Chain A
Amino acid sequence: MNRHRSRRFSQILSASALVVSLTLAGCGAQGATGPGDDTGAAPTSSPSIEFSANAVDDLEALASERAAAASDPAVSEAIADIGAPAAGVAEELLPGGIEEDRGRLLQTDLGERGSSLWVFPTAKGHACYILTNAGAGCVEAFDVEDGGVAWSIFDRDVLREGEPVGVFGLAADGVLEVSVVIDGETYSAELENNGFFYQHSDSSVPPESVKQILIQYADGSLRAVSTGFPSS
């Protein structure tokens, strides 16, 4: 696992600022951060890749022959939790039934608890990702605004103590590198099989210190996506 600050990616971003046409969007939940943020506003450019209407179609890992059986009880529990009845929730907010037998194990032995990262398609074409004993989420479709990634920030115990905060998620095909910005510093995530993971080394850092996800694409373009936490 790479817990070291990503100087190389920072250098890429700095150099790219000189040569790419910047597309600095306004501050917001989905857009790239712009001037005024305290996160070391990164240059962004739109990737040339296009994303599908369904997230599952942008994840090569789901078409692979990798292990599918979710024998880990923590995975089964998370699947059940995602699919649990949710009375009163509008149909469009439900991800659809998880197709458990089509799941894929993306990464193993992650972080302090040796977690595993899984992805499962749903009947609606959404992709649900699970980090065992940490968290889960589903994404309907990737798009340029979200940088072609689906992310979650986890802190498994009491805030600011114990196990450090971490970030995990899915990266669509065409994403070459994922980094996270924490308190203005950039750290590389482990990216493999459309899954990415990073766990910080400082237990005192709360989730809201994770301000941005930086994405580099195979075509050389870059994008910085805000996590939506307000600037401190």
Chain B
Amino acid sequence: MSASVVTAPVVVAATDITFVRGRGGLTGNWQTTGFAGREYSKVYHSEGVNWGACYINTNEQIFGCVHSSNNPTVQPNNAYARGHCMFGEDNLTTIWNCHTTQP
């Protein structure tokens, strides 16, 4: 009879990362370079500017978007994806930060 080894699952908290940060700019899209299990995608930004917090799946499709002018804009669902954020207004002048998590 072979011995079996049972190990308790190790729960490792995901780490928040800022995958892009800036001040001002023109209409743009940003994403993480790699795929991973992620717990959220969110953007901190000045109120009154429409930002989108989304994911990109392994077929390179944008999904799970939440757009809002409120701060932060949060996509709270878990996904195996790239983190993705975007805004569609030109001549932005304020600071913004796009976040997601990585294992």
A interface residue numbers (CB < 8 A to B): 29-30, 74, 77-78, 81-82, 84-90, 93-95, 130, 133-140, 145-146, 150-159, 169, 207-208, 227-230
B interface residue numbers (CB < 8 A to A): 16, 18, 21, 27, 39-40, 42, 44-50, 52-53, 57, 61-78, 88-89, 95, 97, 99, 101
A81–B74 CB distance below 8 A: yes
B99–A137 CB distance below 8 A: no
Question: Distance in Å from the Cβ of A207 to the closest Cβ of chain B?
Answer: 5
B77–A133 CB distance below 8 A: yes
Q: What is the CA–CA distance of A90 and B18 in the complex, to the nearest angstrom?
A: 13
A151–B69 CB distance below 8 A: yes
Q: Could you jot down 17 A-B contacts, CB within 8 Å?
A: A29-B48, A29-B89, A30-B69, A81-B74, A94-B44, A135-B53, A135-B66, A136-B66, A136-B74, A137-B72, A140-B71, A153-B65, A154-B67, A155-B64, A157-B64, A207-B65, A230-B89
Q: Which residues of B contact A133 (CB under 8 A)?
A: 76-77
Question: Distance in Å from the Cβ of B55 to the closest Cβ of chain A?
Answer: 10
Knowing that A81-B76, A130-B76, A139-B47 are A-B contacts, what are 18 other residue pairs whose CB atoms are under 8 Å apart, sorted by A's residue number?
A29-B89, A77-B76, A78-B76, A82-B74, A82-B76, A87-B16, A89-B18, A89-B99, A137-B68, A137-B71, A146-B69, A152-B70, A152-B73, A156-B63, A159-B63, A169-B68, A207-B52, A228-B89
Question: Which of A84, A146, A156, A207 sits near B67, CB closer than 8 Å?
Answer: A207
Q: What is the CA–CA distance of A221 and B89 in the complex, to the nearest angstrom?
A: 28
Q: Which residues of A contact B63 (CB under 8 A)?
A: 155-159
Q: Which 5 residue pairs across A and B have the least CB separation, nearest first?
A: A228-B50, A135-B66, A137-B70, A78-B76, A152-B68
Question: Distance in Å from the Cβ of B34 to the closest Cβ of chain A?
Answer: 20
A82–B66 CB distance below 8 A: no
Q: Which residues of B contact A158 (CB under 8 A)?
A: 57, 61-63
Known: A81-B76, A93-B45, A207-B65. A86 touches B16 (CB 8 A): yes
B16–A85 CB distance below 8 A: yes
Q: What is the CA–CA distance of A137 and B18 in the complex, to the nearest angstrom?
A: 18
A139–B70 CB distance below 8 A: yes
Find the B residue at minimum CB distance from A141.
B47
Question: Which of A93, A150, A153, A156 sits near B95, CB closer than 8 Å?
Answer: A93
B70–A150 CB distance below 8 A: yes
Q: Of residues A94, A146, A153, A157, which shows the largest number of chain B Cβ atoms within 10 Å of its Cβ? A: A153
Q: Which residues of A contact B75 (CB under 8 A)?
A: 135
Q: Which residues of B contact A82 (CB under 8 A)?
A: 42, 72, 74, 76
Q: What is the CA–CA distance of A157 and B65 in the complex, to the nearest angstrom?
A: 8
Q: Which residues of A contact B69 (CB under 8 A)?
A: 29-30, 146, 151, 227-228
B68–A93 CB distance below 8 A: no
Q: Which residues of B contact A229 (CB under 8 A)?
A: 50, 67, 88
